[in-house]
Amino acid sequence: MMKIGRIFPIAFLCACLQACGPEAGAQSVHETSIADLQRMLAGGEVTSVQLVEQYLARIEAYDRAGPRLNSIVRVNPAARETAAALDRERAASGPRGPLHGIPVLVKDNYNTTDMPTTGSSVALADFVPNAASTQVEKLIAAGAVVLAKTNLHEYAYGITSVSSLTGQTRNPYDYRRVPGGSSGGTGAAVAASLGAVGMGSDTCGSIRIPSAFNNLVGLRPSKGLSSIYGVMPLSHTQDTAGPLARNTDDLAIVLDVVSGYDANDPATEAVRGMPPTRFRERLGEVSLDGLRFGKLDSYLERADGATRGVIEDALEWLEEQGVTIVSVEIPDVADLIGASGVIGHEFRADLDQYLAQFGSERITGLADVVDLGLYHQAVAGQLNRSRDAERDEEAYQLALETRSELRTVVERVFEENELDAIVYPTIGEVPVFIGESQPGNNCSIAANSGLPALSLPAGFSDSGLPVGMELLAGFLEDERLLAIGHAIEAGFPQRQAPPVTPALVGNSPPPIRSGILQVEGEGFSLQGEFRIDAVLNRLEYELQLSGEGAGDVSAAVLVLDEGSAPAALNLLGPDAGAAAGSEFMTPQLRQAAADRSLRVRVFGQRLPPEGVSAPVVPDN
């Protein structure tokens, strides 16, 4: 029997949330692929201006209000105008390609010359660079609409996405938790359908971790496959940049646009003279049957139980499809990683050079940022250490040499085991609650070797949190790696929309649903009202006991099914004549609400041991 893994349905209460109002119909941008958006545009069902308007309505409903994801730094004031020009061009001469008229989101460390580029720092709140990044220029040339800039962990120096300019971005799968980072704003926004696709950067996990935490697909490309010119640097040796997407086809479309040689980025010499990439064309060329994956046991063993269980389910499914899974270890990997990091050597010099090159006059370097206190306390340690550090050239050169050694060792593991990919959890811990430190990062093998790594959705934990599975491949094997990911995605679909950002009803979130309860017993009556707020993922209730036998009631509990289902939530305890509360819903509680199977069981002295129960009856 085919195993589908841990997918939790996240529909709410009624089909209305899938099919009521304009956005839930044929023209909805909610969870809509680039290919489907293009079909809608080509068929005249929608215009690019209307796509922009729909995404802006979702930003207003879910980023600024509702769960307040706080993923967007700035909306492009020229987005509608740009979309209108692209609509006119489409009518006159047809589309430029698959990105024509498609609204995209851009991490706010990519240079844009019509909006500030801030690194999500108050230090650079109004800094407008004198040149756009190469990847932004390529997107615009392909006809994309830059819709908005997204939040990041300040200066991309962390993985929880908090910054002095806009604060903390929230995870749409549980807005009490972090979205990963540093491209957490892009990850949360793409997951919530605030744009068709989004751009991020990855120095050590900053594309892959938000992809894992937001149920997305993200590729850290081979170093040099695409340009980082005009992307605010953390470390030029380790920095890469590229898209995060809800599916592999969307990812391939953008990768084909932004990849390739750029004279402004010396690292892209690796692809100079090579033909243009064919990510999308090659998506269907790989069959899983016969592939060999190396399971990195040490990384799986150190993962938390929730993450490990999801990855093991995915690996079991892969074996059922004919993939051979072999256990591997990378010799001396911890020592090689520890000796090959260069962020500490490069950050200050790289940032200072970037600010000078792109025309920052008010802030001329990291010393200004630190000395004026223009940063969030979450990056205080990193910035202060870098501000005072003097580069040790001998140690720096040794780190660069060790990076080559690490790649050689990893490539030897591939060769000796005849592997197509090495597989391990993208990050070994589920998203932490906001304010906590995020453990479990597995970013460094790819980051320190320059090899490509793809994070794919692997499933969900029992608490409804996304888990990512990372596949590592050989240098410049990016196209085949994505084709492998596409084959996995096709047979093992794990994409689920976030619970708190459903399709809009008109331009508004779905209304709060409510239900009533009435339980009659010997000498008492328990009446109540229940309200389910899909956008805040909360169950709210008010209960009132009455009657001369009310004092004999010991407890009232919410259960998720009929019969002898156990208590899922205590509503009323002994000696309580009334109660009110609000509960953040688990996936199981959400599903019971969707199935209309919520019941209340009441226990008391004059009631049978199993109590008496009644359903929560929807009143609309």
* Active-site residue set: 107, 182, 206
Coil, helix or strand at residue 44: coil
The set of residues, in sequence order, having a beta carbon less than 8 Å from that of 34 and lying 6+ positions away, is 98, 99, 102, 196, 197, 249, 250, 253
The set of residues, in sequence order, having a beta carbon less than 8 Å from that of 350 and lying 6+ positions away, is 233, 234, 235, 236
Question: Rg (Cα) of the chain, in Å, rounded?
Answer: 26
Please give the single-letter amino acid code of residue 239.
Answer: D
Could you tell me the CA-to-CA distances from 388 to 234, 238, 311, 426 in Å, in that order? 16, 21, 42, 33
Task: Identify the helix (H) or strand (E) that includes residue 147.
Answer: strand 145-150
Task: Identify the helix (H) or strand (E) that includes residue 18.
Answer: helix 16-19
Q: Using the structure block, give the residue that is written with the tokens 């509608």.
A: 80
Task: Identify the helix (H) or strand (E) that includes residue 306.
Answer: helix 305-320
CB-based contact 467:430 (threshold 8 Å): yes
Cα 572 to Cα 34: distance, rounded to the nearest angstrom = 49
Cα 48 to Cα 185: distance, rounded to the nearest angstrom = 23
Neighbour-count burial of 339, counting CB atoms closer than 10 A to its CB (0-12 exposed, 13-18 middle, 19+ buried): middle
Cα 124 to Cα 513: distance, rounded to the nearest angstrom = 44
Structure tokens at 346: 């490069």
Cα 102 to Cα 195: distance, rounded to the nearest angstrom = 9
Could you tell me the CA-to-CA distances from 15 to 10, 19, 139, 335, 387 in Å, in that order? 12, 6, 37, 54, 55
Structure tokens at 566: 């156990």
DSSP code, position 60:
I
